Amino acid sequence: MLDGLVFEQNVIGMSRGGEVYEIPKGKTGKPLKRETDLLALAEKSKEMMNDLEIELIDVQPEWETNELIGHPDALIKYKGELAIMDLKYTAMKEDENCKWNPYAWGNIVDESTGEIYKDFTQSIHYIEMYFQEHGIYLPFFYLIFGKSGWCKFIMIEPTKETIESYRDRLKRFRNDLKNFIPKPIKSYSKCRKCSVLCEKRTLKPEIQQILY
């Protein structure tokens, strides 16, 4: 997580909220190889963005509509055309899987069935937000850089059905929230993660009594 934030601020100039992150130094106060490798990759990544004809227009904007809020990494111009971009850094190899990133970034679409192995709802969220504010559908790009040097540039082109499905999901969520009746669960560990500020919220952990 920290490496990704440091990478982001060195490639596009800022992390979300303007926070500045640093990799801890070694015992002698000098940068560790972890940091020097990361900064070297960031410089190469900036060169790649230039080669791809990506121009940064607005970095880490905060967008808010009547019902949505979002923080895209950047509003860009790609070959002179306005677009939305999400910058990603990963220590994984291109064809490596893990439980939180199945199929990694190597095999995203099954060539024989057309099945998509990743959830790109994030891109639809930002595309819909921009449309709500400006009445224009912008293309969305993922620019992914791997620690080992690989890079992928992915354009998400949502279908009409995908957009309508996302809007329907928002509508159902609004209805569910409107009819939401909180039930006390007396669990601080669960309540602290919940974004719904209900009256039944448990704000502090209960005493755990042990007879010993």
pTM of the model: 0.79
Question: Domain count of the chain?
Answer: 1
The three-class DSSP label of residue 69 is: strand
Residue 193 falls inside a structural domain: no
One DSSP character per residue, 91-143 reads SS-TT---TTSTTTTT--B-TTT--B-S--HHHHHHHHHHHHHHS-PPPEEEE
Q: DSSP secondary-structure letter at 17?
A: G
Residue 128 falls inside a structural domain: yes
Query: Could you tell me the CATH number of the domain that includes residue 28?
Result: 3.40.1350.10
Which range marks the domain in which residue 136 is found? 2-181
What are the pLDDT tens digits along the chain (212 aa)? 899 999 999 999 988 878 888 889 988 889 999 999 999 999 999 999 999 999 999 999 999 888 888 899 999 999 999 999 999 998 887 776 655 555 566 667 666 776 666 778 899 999 999 999 999 999 999 999 999 899 999 999 899 999 999 999 999 988 887 877 777 777 888 888 887 777 778 888 888 888 88
Residue 35 falls inside a structural domain: yes
Distance CA 46, CA 28 (A): 30
